[in-house]
Copies of this chain bind each other. A is one copy, B any other.
């Protein structure tokens, strides 16, 4: 396998960010304990000009700029998204147009919250092929649109997009390993109902057990594969999504909160955009530093378990 790396990052949030007290009133009162388990105090709601292709393009353009390359240098473009999926066409061809990348084979994937790791895995495979030298992977979601109005989900979900420029070679942030698996027994754990709202068909306890197993198995797989243990990892940048799932992740992996970098408290559960968005934010502010080893576990309805392990390159 030829090594791959990412050489540029970008992320965007919607113009409109809402604190909890700015949200439309909930139809059922929420207890302080519930609010703490959700743990989200601010999130973005995409507005006009902020649909999936536009958010994805904005993040991708930042990543191109960060990598010091142009759209014409891009051979493929993979947009992960499940919150505005279309039958035809995919969204990625529109993103291709918006960023000016005419050579990029452009398509969409979903896999719920695991979409960014899915895109990364496909990219790694493509980059083994001389046909592809450089690509962009994006996680772009408007999760706010699948939250039933006035439901608790409006507290949880937020909109965002995050992107990486990925290349063959070891000159950037090095991708060391990734893992994805599916447990189809839970394929219908969550679905979008006829009204377009996300509903859960699994009890909270069982969901937690599935999530625990996902975090443990996927994180273990990438660490084993790359020859590291959890002690070697400097930072966990997970898709956790809520404080409750985050607490579960900490217990499952047996780690303390000071090694986990997330921003769901201030941007909400942004699903497939979570990992690139948080990584870019904590890299840009200097928390994550060159040489740091980062583990990004994720789970997603499907049921998907995933993780990526990478070593940050020079600033």
A-side interface residues toward B, CB under 8 Å?
1, 77, 82-90, 92-97, 102-112, 118, 121-122, 124-131, 146, 179-192, 196, 198, 225, 301-303
Contacts and interface: CB of A to CB of B under 8 A. Distances in A.
Contact of A89 (B89, B93, B191): B191
Contact of A302 (B93, B118, B130, B225): B93
A182 B77 CA distance: 10
A93 B183 CA distance: 7
29 contacts: A1-B129, A77-B182, A82-B87, A82-B88, A83-B87, A86-B191, A88-B190, A89-B187, A90-B110, A90-B111, A90-B112, A90-B302, A93-B182, A93-B184, A93-B187, A94-B187, A94-B188, A96-B182, A96-B187, A103-B181, A105-B181, A106-B182, A106-B184, A108-B110, A122-B122, A124-B125, A125-B127, A125-B129, A131-B179
A80 B104 CA distance: 20
B102 A184 contact: yes
Contacts of A185: 97
Contact of A85 (B87, B124, B179, B183): B87
B301 A198 contact: no
Nearest to A186: B93
A89 B112 contact: yes
A121 B126 contact: yes
A157 to B, nearest CB: 13
Given A82-B87, A85-B85, 7 more contacts: A1-B128, A77-B182, A88-B191, A89-B190, A105-B182, A122-B122, A131-B179
Nearest to A83: B87
A122 B181 CA distance: 16
A179 B103 CA distance: 12
A303 B90 CA distance: 10
B122 A129 contact: no
Max chain B CB contacts within 10 Å: which of A103, A129, A146? A129
A116 B302 CA distance: 21
A187 to B, nearest CB: 4
Contact of A97 (B82, B187, B192): B187
Contacts of A89: 112, 187-191, 301-302
Contacts of A84: 87
Given A125-B125, A125-B129, A87 B181 contact: no
A167 to B, nearest CB: 15
Contacts of A94: 184, 187-188
Given A107-B109, A125-B122, A125-B126, A146 B96 contact: no
